[in-house]
Amino acid sequence: MPYLVDEPLTATSHTLLFAHGAGAAMDHPWMTRVARGLAAHGIRVVRFEFPYMAARRTSGKRGAPDRQPVLLETFRRIIEEAGGGARVAIGGKSMGGRMASMIADELGVRALVCFGYPFHPPGQPEKLRTAHLAELRTRTLILQGTRDPFGTEKEVCAYRLSPAIRVEWLPEGGHSLEGKGNLERAIALAAAFVTG
């Protein structure tokens, strides 16, 4: 499986396994910007692709994301290859962060960081993806734009979330944390969380 690794300038004991979202690959400019930003804060960032995205790269055809069991098994394998959950933090953008949240407790990872968590599909707030978040035990940081169509500040504040979860709101941000200085702030918050 192909990887992209962003190394900090000095040796580190902090590694983040970082998964892409449903529509963009591991080398998308957004993913690259975040990975390099975290590396500049002293974190080794390992990006990888789920099978459907790797297949897109070779076939040139756009296919739907893999089913959840395949996504989760891929993440499990990446964590095992990295030495096990106790050695790494995990996370991702949107779908990648959601998959990470579903295996974080199972594999005993150090921490979980989600950039733009998809609490529900856009325009379908009744289709919540939060059941497991109520019982999550892993130390978790969710970085969310206040205007994210996958879960606005007003909506998320009404959800029952585990006390292990900290949500940081980025003003006027959408699903990719748009807004002046938002992504830089998100990177700094994530770095402090992973290394703290």
Using a pLDDT cut of 70, give the percent of the chain over it.
99
Quote the distance between the C-alpha of residue 14 and its chain's center: 16
- At the topology level, CATH places domain 3-195 in Rossmann fold (3.40.50)
pLDDT tens digits, 84-101? 999 999 999 999 999 999
Question: Domain residues of the chain, as ranges?
Answer: 3-195
End-to-end CA distance of the chain: 30
**pLDDT tens per residue across span 137-158:** 999 999 999 999 999 999 999 9
Confidence of residue 110 (pLDDT cuts 50, 70, 90): very high
Name the band, by pLDDT with cuts 50, 70 and 90, for residue 105.
very high
Strands 44-48 and 3-6, sheet pairing: antiparallel
Give pLDDT tens digits for 156-175.
Answer: 999 999 999 999 999 999 99
Over residues 26-81, the pLDDT tens digits come to 999 999 999 999 999 999 999 999 999 988 888 878 878 999 999 999 999 999 99
From CA 109, how far away is CA 123, in angstroms rounded? 32
Closest CA to 168 of 125, 46, 180, 183: 183
Determine phi and psi for 126, rounding to 5 degrees: -80, -15
pLDDT of 1 above 70: no
The mean of the pLDDT values for the chain is 95
